[in-house]
């Protein structure tokens, strides 16, 4: 007769290839994302470096769902967590180098560190990155932008890994940036990018970065648990104004609240669940639609499954 241990099917962890990086089962995600909510990753993989990630992608079983996250400043992880493997890029992909007017940075480099490197090298045009609290990979995926500049304006090329472990060097046309969107397949992982600056005066660049910091401090709830702009601006409209006009400023549900400071930001006032935040977002969408006829689209990425059901949505449009 077979022993019980021989009959059980292998765990996800047991099916994954040997790597130099680190696997963690049942890894808490609420500690690492800005909203401070959400269930765990079934397995989190932190690759040691690029080669380790490429090897993992080449050898992993094809049926394993995969999600990549940066620092979670634009993501709402649902309370049921994320099934499959969550890839979290770390130090091994955070290098930043300067060559003339070009900066090459790894996908897990923080946007602010890219901006600081550009300032030190006297390169203008990348100051806007100092105000975006994410990683370069997240910025490429979202075509992140602020203060009239966005990734589209500065990206010369990007390298990305497809689901089978092949590396692609992508031109701006292939990246297909548009407002808070890029055309690269959702299951590809950005590894690095080349960004272009223009020679500028270091003191002036520093002043622009200081102005950006000051403006953000006064206009956004940057010191609270939030996820940035919740909804994309509809063409020719401002989401925050539509939300304000629909009377949603300060609206709350459980521990979730529409920020009084910037009403396109949802905040976790302390004990919100992801369901509170998502439910409040849906309520805002309902009220805005009722008031102005505009159907807001989620800009924040909602990842994983809710506790009550097998909902899975990493896209922008809410049903």
Ligand X SMILES: Cc1cc2nc3c(=O)[nH]c(=O)nc-3n(C[C@H](O)[C@H](O)[C@H](O)COP(=O)(O)OP(=O)(O)OC[C@H]3O[C@@H](n4cnc5c(N)ncnc54)[C@H](O)[C@@H]3O)c2cc1C
Q: Which residues belong to the active site?
A: 180, 229, 299
**Count of residues in contact with ligand X, rule CB under 6 A:** 33
Pick 73 or 104: Cβ nearer ligand X = 73
Q: Which residues pair with 261 in a beta bridge?
A: none
Q: Does 115 bind ligand X (CB under 6 A)?
A: no
Residues 6+ positions from 264 with CB-CB distance below 8 Å: 229, 230, 231, 238, 239, 240, 243
Q: Do 117 and 103 form a contact (C-beta atoms < 8 A)? A: yes
Q: Does 268 bind ligand X (CB under 6 A)?
A: no
Residues 6+ positions from 228 with CB-CB distance below 8 Å: 34, 73, 74, 133, 265, 299, 300
Q: Does 233 bind ligand X (CB under 6 A)?
A: no
Residues 6+ positions from 176 with CB-CB distance below 8 Å: 182, 183, 184
Q: Using CB under 6 A, which of 45, 56, 177, 190 touches ligand X?
A: 190
Token code pair at residue 268: 């976790």
Minimum CB separation of residue 14 from ligand X in Å reads 25
Minimum CB separation of residue 301 from ligand X in Å reads 4
Q: Do 253 and 275 form a contact (C-beta atoms < 8 A)? A: no
Q: Do 240 and 264 form a contact (C-beta atoms < 8 A)? A: yes
Distance CA 138, CA 159 (A): 13
Token code pair at residue 174: 């292939």
Pick 39 or 72: Cβ nearer ligand X = 72
Minimum CB separation of residue 232 from ligand X in Å reads 10
Pick 199 or 210: Cβ nearer ligand X = 210
Q: Strands 252-253 and 256-258, how do they pair?
A: antiparallel
Pick 11 or 91: Cβ nearer ligand X = 91
Q: Using CB under 6 A, which of 46, 78, 119, 141 touches ligand X?
A: 141
Minimum CB separation of residue 223 from ligand X in Å reads 9
Stretch that binds ligand X, among 115-123, 134-142, 273-281, 286-294 (CB under 6 A): 134-142
Stretch that binds ligand X, among 15-23, 55-63, 144-152, 198-206 (CB under 6 A): 144-152
Q: Does 21 bind ligand X (CB under 6 A)?
A: no
Token code pair at residue 312: 């899975």
Minimum CB separation of residue 186 from ligand X in Å reads 8
Pick 227 or 304: Cβ nearer ligand X = 227
Pick 71 or 205: Cβ nearer ligand X = 71
Helix locations, 121-177, DSSP H: 136-142, 151-154, 172-175
Binding mask 204-223 for ligand X (x = CB under 6 A): ----------------x-x-
Distance CA 119, CA 38 (A): 36
Q: Does 131 bind ligand X (CB under 6 A)?
A: yes
Number of Cα atoms under 13 Å in the Cβ half of residue 139: 35
Q: Does 75 bind ligand X (CB under 6 A)?
A: yes
Minimum CB separation of residue 293 from ligand X in Å reads 26
Distance CA 268, CA 38 (A): 12
**In which element (H, E) is residue 278 found?**
helix 274-292
Minimum CB separation of residue 289 from ligand X in Å reads 24
Q: Does 144 bind ligand X (CB under 6 A)?
A: yes
Task: Enumerate binding residues for ligand X (CB under 6 A).
Answer: 34, 68-75, 89, 107, 131-135, 137-139, 141-142, 144-146, 189-190, 220, 222, 226-228, 301, 314
């Amino acid at each position: 007769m077979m022993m019980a241990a021989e009959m059980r099917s292998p765990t996800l962890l047991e099916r994954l290839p040997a790597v130099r990086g680190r696997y963690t089962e049942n890894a808490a995600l609420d500690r690492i994302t800005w909203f401070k909510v959400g269930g765990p990753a079934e397995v989190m993989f932190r690759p040691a470096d690029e080669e380790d990630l490429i090897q993992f992608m080449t050898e992993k079983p094809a049926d394993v769902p995969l999600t990549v996250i940066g620092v979670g400043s634009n993501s709402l992880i649902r309370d049921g967590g994320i099934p499959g493997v969550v890839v979290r890029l770390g130090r091994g992909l955070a290098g930043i180098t300067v060559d003339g007017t070009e900066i090459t940075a790894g996908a897990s480099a923080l946007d602010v560190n890219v901006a600081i490197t550009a300032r030190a090298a006297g390169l203008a045009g990348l100051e806007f990155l100092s105000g975006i609290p994410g990683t370069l990979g997240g910025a490429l995926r979202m075509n992140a932008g602020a203060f009239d500049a966005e990734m589209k304006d500065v990206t010369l090329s990007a390298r990305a890994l497809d689901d089978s472990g092949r590396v692609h060097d992508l031109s701006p046309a292939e990246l297909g940036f548009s407002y808070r969107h890029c055309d690269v397949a959702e299951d590809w992982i950005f590894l690095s990018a080349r960004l272009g600056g223009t020679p500028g005066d270091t003191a002036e660049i520093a002043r622009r970065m200081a102005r950006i910091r000051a403006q953000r401090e006064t206009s956004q709830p940057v010191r609270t648990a939030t996820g940035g702009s919740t909804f994309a601006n509809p063409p020719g409209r401002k989401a925050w104004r539509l939300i304000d006009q629909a009377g949603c400023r300060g609206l709350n549900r459980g521990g979730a609240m529409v920020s009084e400071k910037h009403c396109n930001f949802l905040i976790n006032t302390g004990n919100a669940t992801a369901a509170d935040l998502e439910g409040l977002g849906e309520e805002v969408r309902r009220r805005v639609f009722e008031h102005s006829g505009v159907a807001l689209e989620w800009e924040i990425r909602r990842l994983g499954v809710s506790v009550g059901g097998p909902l899975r949505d990493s896209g922008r449009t809410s049903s």
